[in-house]
Structure 1
Amino acid sequence: MGVFSGEPSATGAARLAAMAAARSGAGAVTVLSPTRSLAVNGAHLTSIMLRKADTLDEVLAFLDARKPKTLVFGPGLGREPEVGNFLLDLLEAIGHAPESMVIDADGITSTALQAETFFRALERQGAPQTIITPHEGEFHRMFKSIGEDSNLSKLEKARRAAAVANAVIVYKGPDTVIASPDGRAAINENGTPLLATAGSGDVLSGICAGLLAQGMAAFEAACAAVWMHAAAAAHFGPGLIAEDLPEALRPVLRDIFARRGA
């Protein structure tokens, strides 16, 4: 799978997502990096691979060569409209599309002004199954009319957004709601204030992607990722920062596999 990296001053978000994906079982993970960010990314990566990706053609060459099942787009990429344009151009290349994508953080904000075009791209035949992971502010940017409707509960807003976007929505917060375009929804109940730390959302996007890369369907992957994310934070306890979360997934995964008798 692949994770898009931002500029040199904002590369950490992609590395957090990449490490979380690897810990979640993604196998081979590649950070797709601008040339300007190769050195800083390379200085921090060991088991995660690194590839130059300045242009859409270079990204498509990676997709052709490695055929990743999943991409993470958004963490640390910047909020400029060009970022959203790049995502739309990538989705236009239907033949090169991976099976699934996770859109987070700046990927949400940068496409918010072109939301209808983005949603239509996700409806096309061959489009990847997609998980979008907005916090409150990002949700209101991308789903403005839904977010402003005070008659709707958070659950109803998430369901409507999922139907409009043709994507699984992870509406983050203390009571994170996961909603599918087919109407299914879940409210996570193991949330913790420990996750109110910079970068934790990048880790969540990586966990989602790691599960998608193993063939899990988008709604189930999102539900499992949200629970695992909070369980890892609770296991670590006070003093948690985002860098701790990928390692904190280990005991959570051990417990899951022990219960399954694996």
Structure 2
Amino acid sequence: MPSRSEERVVTPALLREWALPDPQGSKEARGTVLVVGGARCTPGAVLLAGVAALRAGAGRLQLAVAAESAVPLSIAVPEAKVVGLTSDGDTPDEVLRLAEDADVIALGPGLDDIDHTTRLMKAVLGAAGPETAVVLDAYALGALSKDPGLLRQPRAVLTPNLAEAGHLLGRAPGDDLAAAARELAERHRAVVSLYGHIADPGGGAWREESGDAGLGTSGSGDVRAGIVAGLLGRGADPAQAACWAAYVHAMSGRRLAPGYGRTGFLARELVDEVAATIATV
């Protein structure tokens, strides 16, 4: 397992050498991102992830949320197509059609029932093609811990917090988060971004050191997952998207700190810094 000393530190210089694909052409060329999540009481998680994906450069945005939230969310995010999810466990055909055509699917933000999440993952990822990029966050990671076979797409990024990493590992991740990220990357054959430590199944390992305490705020993880999805949409490979997203997420918080203090900013304010942070690398 790689130690901290074996990880490459994510710096602006490293990212400039690993430049993101240059946006060209129409919105379709920058990818269609579908965010699936948003239980009845938490539709805002999908809003945060979806708008973050657009700020990171995605061309088109589609959101699937609890049916009662679909119309209000479509007004809050007029840039997106918004469809409703049923509460009976069946995934609507319209959502499956969107999954089939999406370039990127981010699944999990705002879900709050593990059985419902598992059914959604089976249906949505089953409808998606093998080349579709996938970002799994929040309850989707809990479902994956119970059934690793849910994830079939090789272009995947997992974005667990420490508790979710524990579920995936079957034990506490411990102090060596680099080793925990690497173990998860090998186990699930996916890129893992864990608390600033990024690992890919091929042995690559990176560490982002700019994050501060203010990132530990409600909705912050949804923003990070959305940034990853947006970067995948514009053509980044999974490890590149995870490293860039970790840096952009952390530096967006640092940009806000002079005005709000280290812990006073909100996740929605992180979203507004994403595009400018990318542009200044």
Which has a greater percent of helix? 1
Task: Supply the distance in 2 between the matched residues of 1:168 and 1:254 (Cα, whole angstroms).
Answer: 24
**If the length of structure 2 is used for normalisation, what is the TM-score?**
0.79
Q: In the alignment, which residue of structure 1 is the partner of 2:276?
A: 251
- After superposition, the Cα gap between the structure-2 partners of 1:98 and 1:34, relative to the gap in structure 1 and judged at 3 Å, is farther
List gaps (5 residues or longer) in structure 1: 257-262
SS of equivalent residue, structure 1 residue 240: coil
Match of residue 11, structure 1, among 43, 66, 77: 43
d(CA) in 2 for partners of 1:234, 1:21:
20
Deviations 1:39-88 (A, max 9, x none): 33123222222123441532222234xx2210110010113222123213
**2:254 aligned to 234, 237, 240, which one?**
234
Deviation at 1:98, TM superposition (A): 5.4
Distance in 1 separating the partners of 2:34 and 2:120: 15
Q: Which residue of 2 is the match for residue 260 of structure 1?
A: none
After superposition, the C-alpha distances for 1:191-227 in whole angstroms (9 at most, x for unaligned) are 1111111000000000000000011100011000000
Task: Tell me: CA distance 1:82–1:91, structure 2 relative to 1, closer, same or farther (3 Å).
Answer: same
Partner Cα separation in structure 2 for residue 208 and residue 19 of structure 1: 12
Partner of 1:170: 193
Matched, 1:100 2:136: no
Cross-structure match for 2:229 = 209
**Cα shift readout 1:75-126 (whole Å, capped 9, x = no counterpart):** 10113222123213333346x4552010001111233222x333xx43xxxx
* Residue type of the alignment partner of 1:27: G
Q: Matched residues in 1 for 2:63 and 2:131: separation?
A: 15
- The aligned counterpart of 1:193 is 213
> Which deviates more, 223-232 or 82-91?
82-91
Distance in 1 (alpha carbons) for counterparts of 2:77 and 2:124: 26
| Greater alpha carbon shift after TM alignment, 192-201 vs 53-62 | 53-62
| Structure 2 SS opposite 1:10 | coil
Task: Determine if contact 2:74/2:80 at 8 Å carries over to the other structure.
Answer: no
How many equivalent pairs are there?
240
Cα distance change of structure 1 residues 168 and 159 upon mapping to structure 2, 3 Å threshold: same
1:8-50 deviation per Cα after TM superposition (whole angstroms, max 9, x unaligned)? 3110000000010000000111111332221331232222221
Q: Is the Cα–Cα contact under 8 Å of residues 171 and 178 in structure 1 kept in the other structure?
A: yes
C-alpha distance in structure 2 between counterparts of 1:35 and 1:82, whole Å: 14
Pairwise mapping of residues 46-57 of structure 1 onto structure 2 (< 5 A)? 46-54=78-86, 55=91, 57=93
Q: Which structure carries more relative contact order (alpha carbon 8 Å, separation 6+)?
A: 2
Cα distance in 1, alignment partners of residues 72 and 217 from structure 2: 23
1:112 to 141, 145, 153: 145
CA–CA separation in structure 1 for the residues paired with 2:160 and 2:230? 18
Provide TM-score, normalisation by structure 1.
0.85
**CA RMSD for the aligned pairs?**
1.9
SS at match of 2:60: coil
* Percent identity (aligned): 28
Q: Do structure 1's residue 225 and structure 2's residue 257 form an aligned pair?
A: no
Partner of residue 80, structure 1? 114
- Which stretches in structure 2 are left out of the alignment for 5+ residues? 1-32
Deviations 1:120-141 (A, max 9, x none): x43xxxx241100111100011
Match of 1:139 in 2: 165
Q: Which amino acid aligns with 1:143?
A: L
- Residues 128, 93 of structure 1: alpha-carbon distance in 2 compared, 3 angstrom cutoff: farther
Match of 1:60 in 2: 96
The match for 1:43 is 75
Quote the residue 1:24 is aligned against.
56
- 8 Å contact from structure 2 (residues 64, 70) kept in 1: no
